[in-house]
Amino acid sequence: MKKFAIGLVILGVVGLLVFWIVTMPSTLAPAAFASARKPNLTNGETMFTIGGCAACHMSPNQKDRHQLGGGAAFGSAFGTFYAPNISQDKDHGIGNWTELQFANAVMRGVDDEGQHLYPALPYTSYAHMKIDDVRDLYAFMKTLPAVATPSKPHQVAFPFNIRRLLGGWKFLYLDTSPITPDPSKSAAWNRGRYLVEAPGHCAECHSPRDQLGGIIKDRRFAGGMDPEGKGWVPNITPHADGIKSWKAADIADFLKSGMTPEFDSVGGSMAEVIQNTSRLSDADRAAMGEYLASLPPIPGKSPKKK
């Protein structure tokens, strides 16, 4: 009996050790940021635009997309998340963050104090971004104004308020592998893939999720319930349930105007996305259209209303 008890204690200690290691925040290597470089502010603005930074972090009730005081509320099955202040304010924003700290937040979901960030920030997609693009984004954001607005605390109940548990979630769902070009595809297709899958994070909204909030891999882009419970986010694969009839040029036009090929105008949160994609270059919108039109067709349509 004594040996059995000792065995249980050992197993418990080993289990806690494994849990501690698995849930430990993982960060980028500082060496990747050691070399000096001249930032490309134009590219940084493109990353800011396609990344949707303003859509989430713009201060409510004002139209200046460079006022990033946060405060917008985002409901979910796990609680309500409030977009934090990511302006250059040194007390309430990220004005004191280093380039490495910023990149760790964007690409690894780890804040300046080494704590896990909630995946309301779509770092599961941003993780695939090129480091130079994130460095350019950081440089561009340094040119934006400071907003002296304190961030609101998230309203998340137990056990989801234990941030260490997010390490386990990341173990299951965070893929940090880079997006490598496919030599069999065109340069535009590869550019589109990068924009859609990484900074554009299109799959984050247009994919169904499991009970833990992770994207169901084999249903990516096939649509799903709105995280805030406000309806259905449409299927954007070339399936009959999605946008089968749309050509690549139709998608590019939609990303510019917000008008479908049937001359319907987009509404809701997608209207905010169009505010971003309409600011991209024609070449980038065409690239996104080419990639999205090439996705494998996957069934998935809005359930019938009861």
pLDDT digits (tens, 9 = 90+) for 90-103: 999 999 999 999 99
CA 237, CA 293: separation in Å to the nearest integer?
7
Check residue 130 and give its pLDDT: 97
Q: Helix 131-141 vs helix 99-108: angle between axes, to the nearest 10 degrees?
A: 120
Check residue 59 and give its pLDDT: 85
- Which of 107, 262, 273 is CA-nearest to residue 196? 273
Separation in Å, CA 157 to CA 19, 20, 47, 161, 204 = 21, 22, 33, 6, 23
Check residue 162 and give its pLDDT: 87
Asked whether the beta carbons of 247 and 281 are under 8 A apart, the reply is no
Q: What is the pairing mode between strands 79-82 and 232-233?
A: unpaired
Is the predicted pLDDT of residue 295 greater than 90, yes or no? Answer: yes
Q: Compute the mean pLDDT over every residue in the chain, rounded to the nearest whole number.
A: 90
Average pLDDT over residues 189-195: 98
pLDDT tens digits, 257-280: 998 988 888 877 788 899 999 999
Q: In a 10 Å sphere around its CB, with 0-12 CB exposed, 13-18 middle and 19+ buried, how is residue 177 labelled?
A: exposed
Average pLDDT over residues 19-28: 76
User: Residue 292, Cβ neighbours under 10 Å: how many?
Assistant: 26
Q: Which of 9-18, 160-169, 279-288 has the lowest mean pLDDT?
A: 9-18
- Which of 120, 124, 136, 127 is CA-nearest to residue 84? 120
Sequence-ordered strand ranges (E) for the chain: 73-76, 79-82, 155-156, 224-225, 232-233
Res. 238 pLDDT band, cuts 50 70 90: very high
Check residue 180 and give its pLDDT: 94
Asked whether the beta carbons of 59 and 147 are under 8 A apart, the reply is yes
Query: Into which CATH architecture does domain 187-293 fall?
Result: Orthogonal Bundle (1.10)
pLDDT tens digits, 198-235: 999 999 999 999 998 999 999 999 998 877 667 789 99
Q: What is the pairing mode between strands 155-156 and 224-225?
A: unpaired
Instruction: Look up residue 186 and give its DSSP letter.
Output: -
- Say whether 174 sits in a helix, a strand or coil: coil
Check residue 304 and give its pLDDT: 65
Check residue 229 and give its pLDDT: 64
Res. 281 pLDDT band, cuts 50 70 90: very high
Average pLDDT over residues 121-144: 97
Check residue 303 and give its pLDDT: 74
- Say whether 155 sits in a helix, a strand or coil: strand
Average pLDDT over residues 40-56: 96
Q: Which of 95-109, 145-159, 282-296 has the lowest mean pLDDT?
A: 145-159
CA 188, CA 249: separation in Å to the nearest integer?
13
Give percent above pLDDT 70 in the chain.
Answer: 91
Check residue 13 and give its pLDDT: 60
